[in-house]
Structure 1
Amino acid sequence: MTGLDAVTLEKAIVHKIGNPSRGEAIRLSPNTLTLNDELVNSLLVKYLLSPFNENDCYQFTHLSDLSMNEVYSYVTRIFEDPSSFLQQSVLLAQLLYAKSTHVRVKEGELYVVLFDKVFFEGSERKAVGIFKSETKETFLKVFAHGQGWELGAEDGININKLDKGCLVFRTNEAEGYKVCVVDNTNKQQDAQYWVKEFLQVAPLSDSYHHTDQTLGLCKLFIEKEYAEKFEVSKSDQIDLLNRSMDYFKTKEQFNLDEFTSEVMHHPEVVDSFMNYKRNFEGNRNFDIDEAFDINLAAVKKQSKVFKSVLKLDGNFSVYLHGRRDLIERGFDEVSGKNYYKLYFDEER
């Protein structure tokens, strides 16, 4: 997130949240933080806001009525009446404590913050931030001792590693606000209490998420279903990954029929992909449109995890960027080993 120098901290508080299933307590602070140290404020803003991607937006949801989403309701009260900040932060802490029963959930500090002048979608907005720090690191501290120096050790928080966060912008209130989410711990399906149980947010149905989800779908399909069902080589998988990514990099709009025809080619592969897509959508509770504008920010994000490296034992790594027809795979009966032939015009 950009424009952090202009952000102001209006109110902030810290509560301690344990895991009730382990007998750990909740410790509620009776007072907000004193925010009169400019350096600490600047570090806190950097720690809390830097990890967010403003293109990756969610919204609060509820099965029956949005107003019954507790986090949505508490945040709304903070926006409407900042004097209720302390009371709403306590309610947020108690709710998170009640949701922290999974065995993988760690004890940590809950930060609730009211920000002003957060730059989002071309203007400065108020925002409520809800963050949890779970990971402690040990730092060496040098201090004066007589005529010399000594070393000590202290446990603290690495301000470059936010564990969990939620940033709610004061916009689109009737639809569940626009919300950015960070969850860098407990990513296992059975421990995603932060997103699913506490916040209850869902991705916005916009070009970013349609692009991001479709590329994620392609990657999983190629690495799992395509590899297992059609018994293809690793180079064939990489080739299909490259062609999928090239489609998104060279087109302005996605069209499902066009994509499957140009990239998947074979009818049986297309059928398998469509079945996989239906399961993918059901598991994520997100329906991917058959046509949408391609979002370049989402393409850039996904391109970092689309690997085009063919690793052969521990001896060779071959980067495949295209021209699958210039690669030949075979088996040498004399040595009893597989081999690849690479055809090229010149060395560089």
Structure 2
Amino acid sequence: MSSVKLRLNTSTATKAVLAKIGNPQREEPLQTSKEVFEIAEADQEPLTAIFLKPFKNLIGHRFTHHASLDQHEISNCAKAIFADEGQLLPRGIEIAQRLYAKSNHPNIKAGDLCIALLKEVHIEGELVNGICILKSDSVTPFLSITVNNGDLRLSTEHGINPDKIDKGCLILDFWQQKGHYVLTFDRGGADTKFWVREFLGVEAVPDAAFLTNAYAKMAVSFLEEQKAGSIPDDDTPPWETATAAKGALDYFDDRDKFELEDFEKEVLKSPDMIAQFQEHRARVEEEQGQPLETSFEISKKDVSKVKKRIASVLKLDTGVEIHVKPAASEEQPVLERGFDDKKGMKYVKVYYNKDLNAGP
């Protein structure tokens, strides 16, 4: 399946339903809007930019249900709103009530919820409506200088930091019969299952972008684990593990199509490594809650993204950190390790042609 073409810069947020979501286990209340909040025309452009900023470059998802999509609560709320904007308030309150009911784990924080209606999201050549759901678990103090009786005063206000919105979901009126096209993120980190599975009930769309990301990241993490685990002490140079991981990504660079069996033979080679990788893949599939296809078109753009995330850092007990890009050791070694008998200490020798901080 090819990746969906999506543009968000044509969109406009026009109205919203707001809520304060507590944790029912701590007997914190749920408070919801009594009326739809109409976004003033002057505020639409900046608010839309804030709402949609976190959704750039995310993997597509879709609603899923073990029995039938007709029984999926969030999907049904979205369908009703897309069919009739007048349903934004009652269905928005339903969404808030569902989130409140699912927020009964002790680690889930209380927060502010915004459910906004978006106009003219550009997807696959169509302009469709969207529903943006954002939850912020914390407020940030902001300083404000104001004029009072001809003098200036400094005051503190508390509000939502647009760069630190914790959780979000963007539902588009597209692929309705397949579970809608959904983008989602959760910066909480500890347990994304609460937001993605329990509240939203979505799974990733198994398109080229998702599968390339999944397998590329999986191969990198697996080979780094294998490289680090193959040496009994902690003396494994981090650039060696990073270079090994990048070597696996060369497989993706050299081909237009991924075939799992071919990847195992070309990259992993030994039966023992193949068996361990299959176990690793099974764990990843369990975490993601869905099986991964074994044959797909490779998304070169996503291979490049994974490569950029490969970093190698050597942290030393003398307070020195050495950051090395994997490409640095490809053509010829630029780092040399050794032991100085006089000082009784290990050392790292760095070769270079020019100090880039020194200028021309």
> TM bucket by the smaller chain?
0.7 to 0.9
In the alignment, is the contact (CA less than 8 A) between 1:54 and 1:120 conserved in 2? no
Partner-residue secondary structure (3-state), 2:154:
strand
* Match runs of 1:100-139 below 5 Å: 100-139=103-142
- Superposed CA deviations along residues 176-207 of structure 1, whole A, max 9, x for unmatched, are 1110002112x213x63111110010001111
Is 1:71–2:74 an aligned residue pair?
Answer: yes
Taking a change above 3 Å as real, the CA distance of residues 316 and 16 of structure 1, as seen in their structure-2 partners, is closer
Shift of 1:149: 0.4
Is 1:291–2:291 an aligned residue pair?
Answer: no
Q: Distance in 1 between matches of 2:105 and 2:129?
A: 33
Is 1:21–2:25 an aligned residue pair?
Answer: yes
Is 1:279–2:286 an aligned residue pair?
Answer: no
Q: Distance in 2 between matches of 1:160 and 1:166?
A: 15
Shift of 1:63: 1.1
Q: Which amino acid aligns with 1:47?
A: I
* Match runs of 1:133-212 below 5 Å: 133-185=136-188, 187-189=189-191, 192-212=193-213
Greater alpha carbon shift after TM alignment, 37-46 vs 231-240: 231-240
Match of 2:353 in 1: 347
Match of 2:3 in 1: none
Q: Which amino acid aligns with 2:145?
A: V
Please, which of 89, 92, 96 is the counterpart of residue 92 of structure 2?
89
In the alignment, is the contact (CA less than 8 A) between 2:14 and 2:38 conserved in 1? no
Q: May I ask how many residue pairs the two structures share in their alignment?
A: 342
In the alignment, is the contact (CA less than 8 A) between 2:17 and 2:88 conserved in 1? no
Shift of 1:332: 5.7
- Superposed CA deviations along residues 233-280 of structure 1, whole A, max 9, x for unmatched, are 234312211212333334322232333344334443333222212222
Taking a change above 3 Å as real, the CA distance of residues 94 and 159 of structure 1, as seen in their structure-2 partners, is same
Is 1:258–2:265 an aligned residue pair?
Answer: no
Taking a change above 3 Å as real, the CA distance of residues 310 and 239 of structure 1, as seen in their structure-2 partners, is farther
In the alignment, is the contact (CA less than 8 A) between 1:46 and 1:159 conserved in 2? no
In the alignment, is the contact (CA less than 8 A) between 2:221 and 2:245 conserved in 1? no
Is 1:33–2:37 an aligned residue pair?
Answer: yes
Q: Distance in 2 between matches of 1:324 and 1:339?
A: 22
Taking a change above 3 Å as real, the CA distance of residues 331 and 67 of structure 1, as seen in their structure-2 partners, is farther
Partner-residue secondary structure (3-state), 2:66:
coil
Taking a change above 3 Å as real, the CA distance of residues 146 and 99 of structure 1, as seen in their structure-2 partners, is same
Taking a change above 3 Å as real, the CA distance of residues 330 and 253 of structure 1, as seen in their structure-2 partners, is farther
Taking a change above 3 Å as real, the CA distance of residues 266 and 74 of structure 1, as seen in their structure-2 partners, is same
Shift of 1:316: 4.9
Taking a change above 3 Å as real, the CA distance of residues 305 and 15 of structure 1, as seen in their structure-2 partners, is same
Match of 2:320 in 1: 315
Shift of 1:107: 1.4
Mark the runs of 5 or more structure 1 residues left unpaired by the alignment.
none
Taking a change above 3 Å as real, the CA distance of residues 20 and 338 of structure 1, as seen in their structure-2 partners, is same
Alignment RMSD (CA, Å): 2.6
Shift of 1:11: 3.0
Match of 2:50 in 1: 47
Partner-residue secondary structure (3-state), 2:50:
helix
Is 1:269–2:270 an aligned residue pair?
Answer: no
Shift of 1:123: 2.9
Taking a change above 3 Å as real, the CA distance of residues 333 and 121 of structure 1, as seen in their structure-2 partners, is farther
Taking a change above 3 Å as real, the CA distance of residues 230 and 173 of structure 1, as seen in their structure-2 partners, is farther
Taking a change above 3 Å as real, the CA distance of residues 254 and 333 of structure 1, as seen in their structure-2 partners, is farther
Partner-residue secondary structure (3-state), 1:289:
coil
TM-score (norm 2): 0.85
> How high is the sequence identity, in percent, across the aligned residues?
30
In the alignment, is the contact (CA less than 8 A) between 2:112 and 2:136 conserved in 1? yes
In the alignment, is the contact (CA less than 8 A) between 1:310 and 1:318 conserved in 2? yes
In the alignment, is the contact (CA less than 8 A) between 2:313 and 2:321 conserved in 1? no
Taking a change above 3 Å as real, the CA distance of residues 324 and 217 of structure 1, as seen in their structure-2 partners, is farther
Q: Distance in 2 between matches of 1:53 and 1:301?
A: 14
In the alignment, is the contact (CA less than 8 A) between 2:17 and 2:93 conserved in 1? no
Greater alpha carbon shift after TM alignment, 96-105 vs 331-340: 331-340
Q: Distance in 2 between matches of 1:256 and 1:338?
A: 42
Partner-residue secondary structure (3-state), 1:103:
coil
